[in-house]
């Protein structure tokens, strides 16, 4: 984690958030264990103190919205923000290359609608601050025949009503879809609804820190955004970019 911070400082990033995949009693290989939560928090706090004159470090979790598997120890954690994400449809890990073939067994429009129905339900819980990679379902380029803006409409309205923030996530540029999450068309709807944004490289390796931020900023500015959100103890703060 120290190497992540030092790389962020090298890149001139002034606010940097850790968002480890939160513990859950499902798909445990890809996330923290509950027994590791306290060490994770302490490590972040140590880094906050060590580098306080160089960078502001935030503490968060990326939480899978999956009914029956979410835990109060995560949802009630004292953090700066919680990212709510959908990685599973009925326990099918749709963004995992191991399970990619399942797309061929389902109706693509139905998959997209189910995904955004889950996004809507997640927003309505009002337990999260940020929507993680809004249109992750596009990861392998299985695109719907219907207008994506129509499919996502109710979800975006729920996001607005829940006072959540859209993550402008550059990881999609590293994936088969080769596109930022969310797409320009969905981000335009978000802007029309006055939904704020925050920036994320979704870095799973040190070399991915700050990945393609220039493209994310360009996209946001082209649509009309001039401010992004940062967090402190679950409170939003707007900053210019």
**51-75 b/e (C-beta count within 10 Å ≥ 16 → b):** beeebebbbbbbbbbbeeebeeebe
pLDDT at 93 exceeding the cut of 80: yes
> What pLDDT was estimated at residue 25?
83
Say if CB 227 and CB 199 are below 8 A apart.
Answer: no
Average pLDDT over residues 9-26: 95
**Whole-number percent of the chain with pLDDT over 90:** 95
User: pLDDT-derived band of residue 29, with 50, 70 and 90 as boundaries?
Assistant: confident
Decide the pairing of beta strands 130-131 and 81-85: parallel
pLDDT at 137 exceeding the cut of 80: yes
Q: In the chain, which ranges are continuous DSSP H helix?
A: 2-10, 37-50, 72-75, 108-124, 148-161, 184-192, 213-223
Q: What's 63-72+79-240's CATH class? A: alpha beta
pLDDT, averaged across the chain? 96
| CA torsion, ordered 213, 215, 219, 225, to nearest 10 deg | 30
Average pLDDT over residues 107-121: 98
Nearest one of 198, 217, 210 to 82, comparing CA atoms: 198
Tokens 């513990």 correspond to what residue?
A: 23
> What pLDDT was estimated at residue 27?
79
Average pLDDT over residues 138-143: 98
Tens-place pLDDT, residues 179-206 = 999 999 999 999 999 999 999 999 999 9
> What pLDDT was estimated at residue 57?
98
In the chain, the N- to C-terminal Cα span, in Å, equals 25
Average pLDDT over residues 13-29: 91
pTM over 0.75: yes
Task: Could you list the beta-strand ranges (E) of 23-108.
Answer: 56-64, 81-85, 88-89, 92-93
Average pLDDT over residues 47-54: 98
Tens-place pLDDT, residues 146-162 = 999 999 999 999 999 99
C-alpha 21/C-alpha 60 separation (Å) is 9
One DSSP character per residue, 134-170 reads TTGGGTT----SS-HHHHHHHHHHHHHHTT-EEEEEG
> What pLDDT was estimated at residue 60?
98
Least confident stretch, 28-32, 144-148, 203-207, 220-224: 28-32
């Amino acid at each position: 984690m120290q190497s992540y911070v030092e790389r962020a400082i090298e890149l001139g990033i002034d606010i940097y958030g850790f968002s480890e995949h939160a513990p859950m009693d499902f798909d445990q290989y890809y996330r923290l264990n509950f027994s590791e939560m306290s060490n994770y928090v302490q490590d972040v706090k140590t880094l906050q103190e060590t580098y306080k004159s160089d960078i502001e470090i935030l503490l968060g979790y990326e939480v899978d919205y999956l009914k029956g598997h979410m835990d109060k120890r995560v949802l009630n954690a004292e953090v700066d923000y919680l990212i709510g994400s959908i990685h599973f449809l009925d326990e099918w890990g749709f963004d995992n290359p191991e399970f990619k073939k399942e797309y061929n067994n389902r109706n693509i429009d139905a998959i997209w609608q189910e995904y955004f129905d889950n996004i809507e339900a997640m927003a309505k819980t009002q337990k999260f601050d940020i929507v993680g990679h809004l249109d992750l379902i596009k990861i392998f380029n299985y695109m719907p025949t219907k207008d994506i803006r129509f499919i996502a409409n109710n979800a975006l309205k729920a996001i607005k009503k829940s006072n959540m923030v859209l993550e402008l996530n550059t990881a999609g540029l590293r994936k088969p879809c080769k596109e930022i999450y969310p797409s320009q068309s969905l981000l335009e709807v978000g802007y029309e609804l006055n939904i704020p944004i925050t920036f994320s490289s979704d870095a799973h390796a040190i070399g991915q820190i700050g990945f393609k931020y220039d493209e994310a900023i360009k996209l946001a500015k082209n649509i009309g955004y001039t401010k992004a959100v940062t967090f402190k103890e679950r409170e939003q703060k707007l900053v210019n970019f």
